[in-house]
Chains A and B, each alone.
Chain A
């Protein structure tokens, strides 16, 4: 490894590459922060441009967008309760309440610190331990994936609302909505009601924008704008401390940050999962480890740290199976695989032998991107907060138009815009009846993985689910699930009774 360092440093540190990192991060953060524009699509659009760039420049551009985009979603989550990217759905739970208390600056800065630290550690792990982690990730077969998904869904149901049953109902709705369209295994049409366009299922992005953004706009419509009062989106900080994370606060969250980082790396390394799951599991873990779990959902800084560290730590982790095995871990790395191939870099076991210099140069790019990320994000927060000091009456219509455009462009289909509006109404009703929305999204995201792994394990076991309890990793998740249910119902209740 060491013999590659110097040539790689030489290869990376050119003005062009440094510029590209900045541009990538900037694009990523902006796209991430705007609900309706999404990172996978941006990367797809940039992909052909990278064909004509130097490999290192092209790849670091995409990595920058990936990192920036995963982080950027938190900005709109905190400020307007609408995650700009699915990974930031959990950030809404605590980030938005914080912003409403005038602590938007604090939440946004916590998000930067969490993201950058999570990313940094995750990149270091990628560089040093990729091969070992990939070997463990391969041990995850259908049984392990199934019990992991069950565990993740349980966590999500339990932590995202005080009404656990409502969280559970939302998850089942999400899973149900995902079953509409071709089934993930054999492609047979389900619940399409003869509507041809539903064969493709409910498109993810319109569903997401509808549930979070459109519903939020509907809620905002209800609010009256009085003449003479400054009706800004986010109330200004009351004290200087509301605008920053104090050392005290940071120190008390170090454990959360480390824990969330490890969860993020682990989940990122498993093909088929992704940053939104990691954010949720980290959030759940932080809540169950916390001394004040009742603060979660009402503006807990720990919640923001957990979610944001958890989702950004995935970025390094997701590159592990991509680089060492040629197996992309999420939709974004799937597109990146193309970028590697086009430059003649074949991800897989031979990558580090054949193209070591380039890969280590890209790794240096990752680390440099981390450092830049910190500064660009701080600058971005300033810009975005200023933007949000404008009246809701102007801001929300603008975002609405972008959402409409975003829903349309993914598949160039007007049908998707209708879907978005329908889910907007659904989200609005859910918010009115205080059903949490993130679990629905997670059910929707994880539905196919749950179904596919269940079918696979049933086929492998000739119809038996016994191996779920005899395979060690799978058993671990089953036990964790049980523990979590008991913890969050029995113990929490007892604690409440005692009070």
Chain B
């Protein structure tokens, strides 16, 4: 009995601060309205964990931007829910220019297409596109095909037999399906957690084809002769794989290049927006910035805010169409 009482007392002790602190979620609003923007540090929310491509882009941006902004820029990782949690945080943040988002289609395109996001694609205001990566398919050299034509031939003869490994329900799978649909082919999808896993499964011969969201993950394996690149899904050929044709060249109207960029919550005051876009334009041509981006194999293709918005629009339309056609929703 006495032991029970002690247990109970301990649990009550825990319960008290929880209920007492339950309302403590409020934001601390600083009175900064009157001062010219920016008068305090700016935070960029990265809705993914640290160390990924989006994170490095944002951190590089954050390290160069203060030069032109006059305020420190902090990167905050808010991972979870396939980036929807961080996305939601920014979508609902005060549109004062102090909270920005490192944006990729994973945040404002795919969850919207599948209806799993509590916000809309255009709840964000584009600041600018940093770059877009080149998606590519590659296969193990032991496979019975060595280019995309022979793959198509083989896949036609063996419908549903050829396996491809890639991240499910995001740019890789949906981009692949857009192409397979246009080519009238049927493949078997093996979902994996990330690009690296897709590459590893293909190297190990567990799946036939890897579809990755960036050529950066396959280039060194291609150069070493461990992977055969088949096709890229960008508008143009990739500098690292000059001999690999684009889907468009091969006769399929499929361009799928996941973007990375900076966005803000919708409804920013005009002057703040102008300042941010101006700073963005300067950072994106800054030498320090470009040097690192080049080293990590990021293809820089800056786009102004309006063009960036068009990219979002095209993505939403293209992916919604394929998702509905394939009944994936």
Contacts and interface: CB of A to CB of B under 8 A. Distances in A.
A151 B88 CA distance: 39
A351 interface: yes
Interface in B108-148: 114, 116, 118
Contact of B81 (A181, A334, A432): A181
B297 A341 contact: yes
Interface in A124-175: 138-142
Interface string A192-220: 00001101110100000000000000100
A349 B221 contact: yes
Contact of B24 (A186, A325, A342, A414): A414
Contacts of A288: none
A221 B81 contact: no
B204 A187 contact: no
Contacts of B11: 425, 428
A185 B11 CA distance: 37
B184 interface: no
Contacts of B77: 44, 410-412
A325 B292 CA distance: 22
A449 B217 CA distance: 22
Contacts of A405: none
Interface in A175-197: 181-182, 184-189, 196-197
A139 B82 contact: no
Given A335-B51, A428-B10, A460-B163, A187 B82 contact: yes
A141 B201 contact: yes
A459 B188 contact: yes
A327 interface: yes
B196 A327 contact: yes
Given A186-B168, A196-B88, A346-B220, A51 B63 contact: yes
Nearest to A448: B193
Interface band, chain A: 35 or more
Contacts of B50: 40-41, 43-44, 47, 335
B199 interface: yes
Contacts of A425: 11, 14
B282 to A, nearest CB: 19
A424 interface: yes
A324 to B, nearest CB: 10
A40 B55 CA distance: 14
A48 B217 CA distance: 21
A317 to B, nearest CB: 15
B116 A189 contact: yes
A480 interface: no
Contact of B192 (A48, A334, A342, A456): A456
Interface string B222-241: 01101000000000000000
B42 interface: no
Interface string B82-103: 1011001000000000000000
A351 B297 CA distance: 14
Interface of A is mostly: helix
Interface in A302-354: 321, 325-328, 331, 334-338, 341-344, 346-351
Contacts, number: 175
A429 B51 CA distance: 37
B85 A222 contact: no
B197 A271 contact: yes
Contacts of B17: 421
A391 interface: no
A385 interface: no
Contacts of A189: 116
B51 A337 contact: yes
Nearest to B191: A185
A335 B51 CA distance: 4
Nearest to A52: B63
Nearest to B199: A327
Interface in B141-177: 163, 168-169
A411 B78 contact: yes
Nearest to A416: B80
Contact of B224 (A200, A348, A432): A348
B66 to A, nearest CB: 12
A187 B116 contact: yes
Contacts of B191: 185-186, 452, 455-456, 459
B60 interface: yes
A413 interface: yes
B311 interface: no
A338 B220 contact: no
Contacts of A348: 219-221, 224
Nearest to A201: B80
A60 to B, nearest CB: 18
Contacts of B205: 141
Contacts of A418: 18
Interface of B: 6-7, 10-11, 13-14, 17-18, 24-25, 49-52, 55-56, 59-60, 62-63, 75-82, 84-85, 88, 114, 116, 118, 163, 168-169, 188-193, 196-197, 199-201, 203-207, 216-217, 219-221, 223-224, 226, 292, 295-297
27 contacts: A40-B49, A182-B82, A184-B193, A185-B191, A187-B82, A188-B116, A197-B80, A203-B80, A271-B200, A272-B197, A326-B221, A327-B199, A328-B196, A338-B51, A341-B295, A341-B297, A346-B216, A346-B220, A348-B224, A349-B226, A411-B79, A412-B77, A421-B18, A425-B11, A452-B191, A456-B206, A460-B207
Given A338-B55, A343-B295, 10 more contacts: A140-B204, A186-B191, A199-B81, A325-B200, A338-B296, A341-B297, A346-B220, A350-B224, A412-B77, A414-B25
